[in-house]
Structure formats: structure tokens, C-alpha cells
Amino acid sequence: MTKPAAPIAINNAIENVLRHDRGRLIAGLTTRLHDLQLAEDALQDALISAMSHWGRSGLPHSPVGWLMKVGLNKGIDRVRKGQSETRKADDLMIVSAKHAERLDDEPIPDERLRLIFACCHPVLEEKSRVALTLRTVCYLTTREIAAAFLDNDVAIGQRISRAKAKLKEAGVAFEIPDQEVWPARLDAVLSTLYLIYTVGYVSEDESDRDLAAEAMFLLRLLDRLRSDDPEIEGALALVLLTEARRKARIGTDGATVPPEAQDRSLWDTHMIREGQEILAQAVERGRPGPYQIKAAIADCHMSRPKPDWQQISLLYGSLWVHEPTPVVALNWAVVMAELGKTDLAVQKIEALGTTLKDFQPYYAAYASVLGQAGRTNESRAAYERAIELAQNSSSRRFLEKKLQQENN
């Protein structure tokens, strides 16, 4: 009996390679082909070739190396077929011949840093950066991304295509940014990854792909690929110190629990220690920045026996220098109220009223501080407004509980 090809088994093997290495493959191909869409098409062609080649001879010694080499050739084929200016294809050929030789025995260089910086390029809208990074680097399907953002997958698919086209139009090079633009470009990357994290953190449904885990993966990857940047370390520490409390975030009644009231036995002490160690290492580099400060604030929230509000207030003062935003001012005011300066806190918050109109956390903070100042009626009204604006059931429940306390 002839040995039948086992297409599903081969497909599963390919899937397995992709799950671990698709980001690296796309990064490597994009760096050489200079076009993200072309790299993806080329990889797709290589995968179809893999189906039939691997179907006969089994998995090659280095599946990633095989796919990189074949993908590069497929990409060049596509350029040749698609355009009359053969020069470009010839240029790529020279590059690829050198690379193809190397790919056989040498470990494949990890080019994902370039890819992450391209996906999070400031020419793209924030939401596009998020979608493109999740699709390209983390290998989520458009459906999975859409589910996380409560959007439909056609819209997300279009957003991703437009983002790729935009990178091409804008001539974005797949390079690691130079020293002088590094801080601004890194900030775009970190804010994108942090946004991915928070979407995962507040998500209430159990989806297949946990965005918080994807964000931690990306930050760890970033830290590994560029191991001497204190802000990358700061962002990773911030996420670890937040994630460590995730299990305690929502109480048995389904309401959000603020860190100071959480059941500490639910905290992941291992993760806290890791976050603290990474933060300490970052601080030693002597180049402070907003992510390091935010991580330190998260850490002080977990001080025993209660949050170190004095220290947190000082940290907000430092954060203000880097990020003089209304949101920082709002959080700072809440800390002042914890330190007993309730009147000052009310004043500070009221000064923000026009800029933060319709911002749910504004009313939640305002209500809480008014309550602490003994201004019960106004506090109740602010809670009611906050409840109206609440985005999810756990924070709504928390606010309802607080409102009830004010009523009693």
C-alpha cells in the first residue's frame, strides 16, 4: 500500500512552527523584501510549498530556515511577475543569495524589533498599531482581534490592510530607530503594548487569546531584543506588578476592588518579585522615565500593611514632569485626598472638569473625594454620573456599592 500523504498532520506541524516563529519569519522576510504585505504573501506561498514538500520528506532540519529561504524566493518571484522594472528584483536577488546561503546552517537573526517598531509607527492611528501588531507579531486572527475590541472582523481586516498600505506609502523603513528618534518611537511602541495590556486586563469574557498575556509576551520580547533600556524594563515591570493583582481585581460580588482593599492572599508574589527586580534594575541605570515611575506607583500600592500614599504622591510629582496630563493630575488628586488633603483634592479635580467632561474615571474620582470631604449630596450626584458612563459591569457594580454607602 502506498503511504498516503497526511495533509492535516502536515498542516498541524506547519501551524506549530507558525505559532512559535511566524513573527520571526515575517520580520526576516519584511526586512529583506521591504514590504510587509509582500512578506506575508511570500510566506503564504512558502507554506503551500511546504505542504507538498514536507508531505513527502517530513519536516526539514530547520523548518524556519526552510520557510525563510523559500519565502524569500517566492517574494522575489512575485516582484518579478508583478513589475516590469526588473532592477528591484535583481537587487533583491543579490541580497537573497547571500542570505539564503547563511540561512542553511547559521541561526536565523531575530529581526522582530524592526517589525515591532514598524507596526507601532507614529504614522498609524493607535488602533491600527494595536491591530497590526497583534496580527503580525502575535499571529492573532482578525476575528480574535475583533472580538477583543468588540468590533467586527471585516472592519479590523480592512484596518490592517490600510495600515500595511500606509506603511508602504509613507516609505517606512524596517529599521531600528536611530538614537535621536529612539525615545519618541519607543514611546509609540510602549503605549501601543500597554494599551493591548489594558484591553486584556479589563476584559470580562474568557476569550481564547488573552491580550494581557500577548502584551506581556511582546514586552518580554522587546526587553530581550533591547536589554539595556530602562523604559522598556519599566513598562514590563508595570505590567507585571499590575498583572500580579489581576485575580484580586474583582470581588465575589462581581464588583471591582481597589488595590488597597484587595485580598492580598490572591496576589501572585512570584510575579510581584519579578516586577520589583526588573524595576530595581531599571532604576539603577539612572535614566528615569514615565513607565518606571508608573511601575513604582503600582509597587507602592502594594506596600504593607497599606499603600504608601506619601511616596505615591511624590512619585506623581515626578510623573507630572514627564506627563503633565489631566489624567495624571486626576490620579494625583485622589492620592492627596488619601493623605487627608480633601479640600485641596476637590479643588484640583474641579479644575479638570472641563477637560475631562464625560470621562468616567473623572466622576468616580470626584465622587470619592467629595465623599471623603463630607459633601454627601454632591458625591451622590457624581456617583450617579459615573455609573451612567461606566463601561463594564464590574466597575458599575463597584460604583453602585459606593453610592449605597454614601446613601447610608
Partner 1 sequence: MKYMLLIYNNPEQQPQYGTPEFEAMMGGFFAANEKMKADGVLVDGESLNEPDTATSVRVKAGKTETMDGPFAETREYLGGYYIVDVPDLDTAVTYAEMIPSAAFGTIEVRALMDYNPAG
- Would you tell me which residues interact with partner 1 (CB under 8 A)? 1-12, 14-15, 47-48, 51-52, 55-56, 141-144
For partner 1, the closer of residues 6 and 266 by Cβ is: 6
**Minimum gap (Å) between residue 31 Cβ and partner 1:** 25
Q: Which residue, 47 or 132, is less far from partner 1 as judged by CB?
A: 47
Question: Measured from the CB of residue 7, what is the shortest distance to partner 1 in angstroms?
Answer: 4
Least Å distance between CB 147 and partner 1?
A: 8
Nearer residue to partner 1 within complex by CB, 12 or 347? 12
Q: Least distance (Å) from partner 1 to the CB of residue 251?
A: 31
Burial 286-299 (b: 16+ CB within 10 A, else e): eebbbbbbbbbbbb
β-partners of residue 256 are 250
CB-count burial class (<10 Å; 0-12, 13-18, 19+) for 42:
buried
Can you tell me the distance from the alpha carbon of 68 to that of 70, in angstroms, rounded to the nearest whole number?
Answer: 6
CB of residue 150 to partner 1, shortest distance in Å: 15
Find the shortest distance in angstroms from Cβ 28 to partner 1: 21
Local structure of 287: helix, strand or coil: coil
Sign of CA dihedral 347, 348, 351, 352: negative
> Would you say 64 or 193 has its CB closer to partner 1?
64
Closer residue to partner 1 (CB): 14 or 382: 14
Q: Between residues 164 and 397, which has the closer beta carbon with respect to partner 1?
A: 164
Cβ atoms within 10 Å of 13's Cβ, excluding its own:
17
How far, in Å, CA of 356 to CA of 350, rounded?
10
For 366, other C-beta atoms within 10 Å of its C-beta total 27
CA distance 78 to 82: 6
